[in-house]
Amino acid sequence: MEAILKDSPQPFYEQIKEMLREKITRGEYRADSAIPNERALAKQLSLSRMTVRRAIVELTQEGLLTRIRGKGTFVRGSFAPRERRGRPPVVGIVAEFDRTNNQNVFCYRMLAGIQQASEEAGLTLAFRRVSRPHEAFVAGLREDQALKGLVLLEMNNPPLQRLLAKLPIPSVLVDSCQPDENQPLFNEVNHDSQAAVKAAVSSLLRLGHRDVVLMMGESKTFLHLQRREAYEAALREHGLPVREDRIFAFNPSGETAYALMKRLLNEPSPPTALLCAGGDELVHGAMAAVYTHGWRIPRDFSLVAYGDTIGFTVPPLCNIRVPWEQLGIAGIEVLKERFRQPTLPLKRVFLPCEYLQRGSCDTPRAAAPPAGVAVS
């Protein structure tokens, strides 16, 4: 592999493009054959994968290469570059959150899936954070002639959604809810957690737990209602009553979860297990309360998290895994279908979640240790 000229004014990715073009022209990379993957090229050239990826994406957009998911990048059968057609189609990612907020781990993972699928499809992405007034924001999207489609990410704002539904380009909700479930306005890609939540609660009940708390966000969307319904269904199937004083829905906050958990643990008959079906903040707050109470997980208390976005913990958390990256990929796939066939009926895709049994759940203690007293 030729060396990159580090002191050249030509950008590294342009040098990589020229290098690959020459190898294809010389026949070193033949038609329909695979080129080295991004990791291998980055290592050979001592460059970042991001730089290599940009070169490959641009050559793909120019028609010299083609990317096949799960297989690699190949030289096109007829490797004469296609006639340029201007800029590739632009897909706008519309969201109300700040993409620089590193607390949105699940959003980053969905964005990673969106980016991967967009690169393979030769699409360009443009992030559009919602601003007020909403009417002016939507008018700006309407005037942007480069936008060919929209991904509405983590958006549960019915008035804004109804404005966006009037735009003349295809849109898809990703991990968001329709403004009216009875009258869908958008294509949609969501996760279905009902079976996984029920499996998690049933697993706790089979271990012997009879007092399981549910914490989740205060949203009234069907995604949150689905979690509550699954929790209640598991209790009823095991002949247990549904206790309203064991179901908590509030704005996800570690401080609130900590205070609530402390109060519950100081009850004369405290709960023995918790399903945190909300943000990671709930999990961190609840775990802190358990440990400051002098208890340990799972010896004294069992806990199930939601989303599988928390990294290293001791013990590893039982979790309801949400296929975040696949949600993003599926969103772009739905848009691609709409680009090809604009008159297709609305499509709603639901990807199943999975309950992962790890190390944070065990049988309940026969006798809980006194509050504030650690047991070695």
Of 9-13, 129-133, 148-152, 243-247, the one with minimum mean pLDDT is: 9-13
Top-confidence residue, 151 or 37: 151
Residue 17 CA to residue 43 CA, distance in Å, equals 16
Q: Phi and psi at residue 302, in whole multiples of 5°?
A: -105, 145
Q: How many CB atoms lie within 10 A of CB 373?
A: 9
Domains 90-192+324-352 and 194-321 share a fold: yes
Average pLDDT, the chain: 89
Strands 187-192 and 124-129: unpaired
Q: Place 376 in a pLDDT band, splitting at 50, 70 and 90.
A: very low
pLDDT of residue 78: 52
Does pTM top 0.85 for this prediction? Answer: no
Residue 148: per-residue pLDDT: 94
Please say if the pLDDT value at position 229 is more than 90.
yes
Is the preceding peptide bond at 298 cis, omega within 30 degrees of 0? yes
Mean pLDDT is lowest, of 23-37, 84-98, 190-204, 338-352, for 84-98
pLDDT above 90 for 326: yes
At residue 11, the pLDDT reads 86
* Cα separation, 178 vs 164, whole angstroms: 12
Letter for the amino acid at 288? Answer: A
Q: Residue 153: CA atoms inside 13 Å, Cβ hemisphere, count?
A: 35
Phi and psi at residue 152, to the nearest 5°: -95, 105
For residue 236, count other CB atoms closer than 10 A to its CB: 11
pLDDT at residue 368 in the model: 46
Residue of 55, 88, 91 lying closest to 73 (CA atoms) = 55
Confidence (pLDDT) at 204: 98
pLDDT attached to residue 374 = 46
pLDDT surpassing 60 at residue 330: yes
Residue 338 CA to its chain's centroid (Å): 22
* Residue 348 predicted with pLDDT over 50: yes
Measured distance CA(144)–CA(271) in Å, rounded: 54
Residue 101: per-residue pLDDT: 53
- Position 1 scores a pLDDT of 53
Reading the block at residue 371, the tokens are: 């509050």
- pLDDT tens digits, residue range 181-210? 899 999 999 999 999 999 999 999 999 999
**3-state per-residue secondary structure call for 22-78:** HHHHHCCCCCCCECCCHHHHHHHHCCCHHHHHHHHHHHHHCCCEEEECCCEEEECCC
CB-CB contact of 224 with 249 (8 Å)? yes
Distances (CA, A) of 53 to 59, 89, 124: 10, 18, 14
Q: Report the candidate in 350, 358, 287 with the shortest Cα–Cα distance to residue 322.
A: 350
Burial grade of 150 (CB within 10 A; 0-12, 13-18, 19 or more): buried
Q: 53-76 pLDDT, tens per residue? A: 888 888 887 778 888 877 889 888
194-321 belongs to CATH 1.10.3720.10: no
- pLDDT tens string 257-266: 999 999 999 9
Mean pLDDT of 209-227: 91
The residue that leads in pLDDT, 83 or 37, is 37
Nearest partner of 37 among 80, 74, 91, judged by Cα: 74
Does 367 score more than 80 pLDDT?
no
d(CA 58, CA 67): 12
Q: What is the token pair recorded at 22?
A: 């020459």
Burial class (CB in 10 A: 0-12, 13-18, 19+), 220: exposed
| CATH architecture of residue range(s) 90-192+324-352 | 3-Layer(aba) Sandwich (3.40)
Confidence of residue 81 (pLDDT cuts 50, 70, 90): very low
| 8 Å CB contact between 311 and 284 | no
Query: Residue 151 above 50 pLDDT?
Result: yes
User: Which CATH number, 1.10.10.10, 3.40.50.300, 1.10.287.130, 3.20.20.70, labels domain 12-75?
Assistant: 1.10.10.10
104-147: pLDDT as tens digits? 788 889 999 999 899 888 898 999 999 999 999 999 999 998 89
Lowest mean pLDDT among 62-66, 81-85, 104-108, 350-354: 81-85
pLDDT score of 375: 42
Q: Name the residue ranges covered by the structural domains of the chain.
A: 12-75, 90-192+324-352, 194-321
Write down the pLDDT at residue 356.
97
Rounded mean pLDDT, 233-245: 97
